[in-house]
């Protein structure tokens, strides 16, 4: 079995002093790649640096997260856009970007989120790069905005939205990633059940912490094995076959095939 962690935040302060530990855990558990997602300009730079130190293992996804849009200046946005365009390549994605109505319901904050999200999508479109999208409590609007762009590949990271939107997601060919929460959250299991296996990816979204068998533990790439085992149960297949399909899906999402 082989895995690629489709969404992790290696530039987070909780990980920066533990990069060697995280990469060692990955190697020991058949995780051959990690898509490191940024949150802002600073973490975009750090993520790119990490990918240069560990090429073909850490795949950088750079962008401005909706939680950080109120802190990002216009100059910050422009610089991230320039990084996306100048650092484009088959192993690079744009992320984590999107909207989050739960984080803030203030009109001015949501307007700022929309402005930044669309700036990131324009850059992704121009660079012909895949996009990792955050959509919490803004699922319909995110889909409407995405439809306005010609994007290479779209990942709805940790999608937890309405089941009735799934047919549209499937028809557009978007990917959905599931993580450790899928082991114990019934709704995420139901979403995974309805999404074709060929459109599923796995992630940890570390350093987010989890409950269940993961409670109290640092989130590390080895968690993907439990995610894959649960997906095999939900989808009714052998874990080896499920894992290999998801591995190929992730390569396809990144443009590595």
Q: For residue 15, give the DSSP letter.
A: H
Domain boundaries in the chain?
3-254
Two tokens at 225?
């094995």
User: How many other C-beta atoms are found inside a 10 Å radius of the C-beta of residue 237?
Assistant: 14
The Cα–Cα gap between 200 and 4 comes to 12
Yes or no: is domain 3-254 CATH 3.20.20.140? yes
pLDDT score of 172 more than 70: yes
Residues 6+ apart with CB under 8 A from 84: 62, 63, 92, 94, 120, 123, 124, 127, 129
Residues 89-141: pLDDT tens digits? 656 899 999 999 988 878 889 999 999 999 999 999 999 999 999 999 999 99
Q: What is the pTM of this model?
A: 0.96
Two tokens at 46?
């750090």
pLDDT at 86: 86
Residues 199-242: pLDDT tens digits? 999 999 999 999 999 999 999 999 999 999 999 999 999 999 99
CA nearest 10: which of 152, 180, 221?
Answer: 221
Helix or strand or coil: residue 154?
strand
Residues 6+ apart with CB under 8 A from 110: 99, 101, 104
């Amino acid at each position: 079995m082989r895995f690629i962690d489709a969404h992790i935040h290696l530039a987070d302060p909780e990980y920066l002093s533990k990069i060697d530990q995280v990469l060692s855990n990955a190697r020991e558990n058949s995780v051959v790649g990690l898509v490191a997602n940024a949150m802002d300009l600073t973490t975009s730079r750090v993520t790119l640096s990490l990918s240069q130190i560990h090429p073909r293992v850490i795949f950088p996804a750079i962008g401005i997260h909706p939680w950080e849009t109120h802190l990002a200046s216009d100059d910050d946005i422009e610089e991230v856009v320039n990084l996306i365009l100048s650092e484009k390549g088959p192993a690079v994605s744009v992320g984590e970007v999107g909207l989050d109505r739960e984080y803030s319901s203030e009109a001015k904050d949501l307007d700022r989120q929309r402005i930044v999200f669309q700036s990131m999508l324009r850059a992704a479109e121009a660079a012909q790069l895949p996009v990792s999208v955050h959509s919490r409590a803004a699922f319909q609007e995110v889909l409407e905005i995405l439809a306005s762009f010609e994007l290479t590949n779209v990942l709805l990271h940790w999608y937890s939205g309405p089941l009735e939107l799934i047919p549209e997601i499937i028809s557009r060919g978007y990917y959905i990633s599931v993580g450790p929460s899928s082991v114990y959250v019934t709704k995420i299991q139901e979403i995974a059940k309805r999404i074709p296996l060929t459109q599923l990816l796995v992630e940890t979204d570390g350093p987010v912490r989890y409950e269940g068998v993961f409670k109290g533990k640092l989130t590390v790439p080895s968690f993907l094995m439990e995610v894959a085992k649960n997906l095999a149960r939900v989808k009714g297949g052998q874990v080896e076959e499920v894992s290999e399909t998801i591995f190929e899906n992730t390569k396809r999402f990144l443009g590595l095939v």
